[in-house]
Structure 1
Amino acid sequence: MLTGISHHTVYVLDQEEALAFYCGKLGFEITSDVDLGFMRWLTIALPSEPGRQIMLEVPGPPFADDDTAAQLRDLMTKGALGAAAILTADDCRATYEELRAKGVEFTEEPTEQPYGIDCALRDPFGNPVRITQPAEGPVTAEDFAEHGESATDLRA
């Protein structure tokens, strides 16, 4: 039986720039940095969740051939690969202000949503990242209806 998620990949164009952003600005820490010869295995995690790691991977061998890597880079810079991460915070508005002061550029300011308070940014490579202060309790379709939207409106 599965017991958890240990790693998730976020594609980046430059691993050093990714470290400057994810560690230097967002507060992640390096969990492994290994030169395997054919690739650099670089993972980060939040100090509060060291068992959930993000691998900062440059598209290319051994996981993708050159043509596929070029397609991935193109999709990534357009933000078309989907959310790199949805991060949680105890206070979304305070986190937003703290990160703005560090030079993080946001695409959406903190906004009340049925599921909590939420804001959005893009990493230096175009990957969407969201920060959410989750609402207490379960969220239902009725919560979205009370908010004046449907759950499918989130896809826009």
Structure 2
Amino acid sequence: MITGAHTIIYATDAEAARAFFRDVLGFGHVDAGGGWLIFKSPPSELAVHPADPHAAGVAELFLMCDDLAATVTELKAKGVEFTTDVTEQGWGLVTTLAVPGAGTLGLYQPHHDTAYDLTRPG
């Protein structure tokens, strides 16, 4: 029934954001027409967190990695700007990085079990 998930990032400078995902992060992509790139996302998982009524329906995107210190070093060498220091949150190490023309994304190294490589439901 469900075959995938399509994440949308809204950007004031879509070309700069697309170049970041294509050239800096190296995400594979297809051109849906006229330079409208659709990127292959890394394996993913979905979490549902409790929220007050004003935050219900809000979604966030965090990229995940196995070694946050190494990933930060690699991305800084490519010119990526980090907007927060790395912090320990109990559930993982986390920071945020700037996406040109599109705000920030979370980046974290989870300490919890992950679901993105499960081969069967629950």
Q: Is TM (by shorter chain) over 0.5?
A: yes
Q: How many positions carry a matched residue from both structures?
A: 102
Q: TM-score, normalised by structure 1?
A: 0.55
Cα deviation per residue 1:9-34 (whole Å; 9 max; x = unaligned)? 11123333222211211221213331
Percent identity of paired positions between Structure 1 and Structure 2: 34
Which residue pairs with 1:112 in the alignment?
88
Which residue pairs with 1:28 in the alignment?
27
**SS in structure 1 opposite 2:94?**
strand
**SS in structure 1 opposite 2:97?**
strand
- In structure 1, runs of 5+ residues without a counterpart are 52-80, 139-156
1:12 correspondence with 2:11: yes
Higher strand share: 1
Written as runs of structure 1 = structure 2, the 5 A alignment for 1:1-156 is 3=2, 5-35=4-34, 41-46=36-41, 48-49=42-43, 83=60, 85-137=61-113
The answer to whether the 8 A contact 1:23-1:30 is kept is yes
Quote how far apart the aligned CAs of 1:4 are. 5.5
Alpha carbons of 1:93 and 1:41: their partners in 2 closer, same or farther (altered >3 Å)? same
Alpha carbons of 1:6 and 1:32: their partners in 2 closer, same or farther (altered >3 Å)? farther
Larger Rg: 1
The one-letter amino acid paired with 2:25 is L
Quote how far apart the aligned CAs of 1:103 are. 0.5
- In structure 2, runs of 5+ residues without a counterpart are 45-57, 115-122
Q: TM-score, normalised by structure 2?
A: 0.68
Task: Considering Cα pairs closer than 8 Å and 6+ residues apart, tell me whether 1 or 2 has the greater RCO.
Answer: 2
